[in-house]
Structure 1
Amino acid sequence: MSPCIQVSEDTKELLERLKRDDETFDELLHRLASDEQPVDIGAWSSEEAEQAREAVRRSREGFR
């Protein structure tokens, strides 16, 4: 018998959106766990972070 994991309905819906038509949930989870690169927090240099902040500020000014 294979292991069973429980997920909420919300999580299942999110997974269904990521699942390819030709793959099982097992294959989806394996792909997500092995292929996806983790988010590298703090990956931007100080200069890159400041440029991003400036871009967001300019973008917000465009909505005024």
Structure 2
Amino acid sequence: MSTSIRVSDDTKRILERLKREDETFDELLERLAQSERPIDIGAWSGGKAERAREAVKRSRESFER
């Protein structure tokens, strides 16, 4: 089964630059998706985790303006 996704021309150009010569777009997207790992906040001390939460909150708020 296959699924189509729409991307802008600019995004397609970026993906084409990232794509390896012997790689399909599906393989590229899978590689990019797997390289993103969630941050395990539980591994941080309470103070460090709270500072990270606050930084994320400030970052999100800056995009809402």
Task: Find the aligned partners of 2:11 and 2:38 in 1 and give their Cα distance.
Answer: 19
Taking structure 2 as the reference length, what is the TM-score of the superposition? 0.53
1:19 paired residue number? 19
Query: Which one has the largest radius of gyration?
Result: 1
In structure 2, distance between residues paired with 1:25 and 1:38: 23
Query: How far did residue 11 of structure 1 move?
Result: 0.2
What's the counterpart of residue 35 of structure 1? Answer: 35
Between the two proteins, the alignment pairs up a number of residues equal to 41
Q: CA RMSD in A?
A: 2.2
TM norm structure 1? 0.54
Gaps of at least 5 residues in structure 2 are 40-50, 53-65
- Other-structure match for 2:63: none
Deviation, structure 1 residue 10: 0.3
Q: Measure the CA separation in 2 of the matches of 1:29 and 1:18.
A: 10
CA deviations 1:6-61 (Å, max 9, x no partner) are 0000000000000000000000000000024569xx87xxxxxxxxxxxxxxxxxx
**Identity fraction in percent:** 70
Please list every run of 5 or more consecutive structure 1 residues that lacks an aligned counterpart in the other structure.
44-64
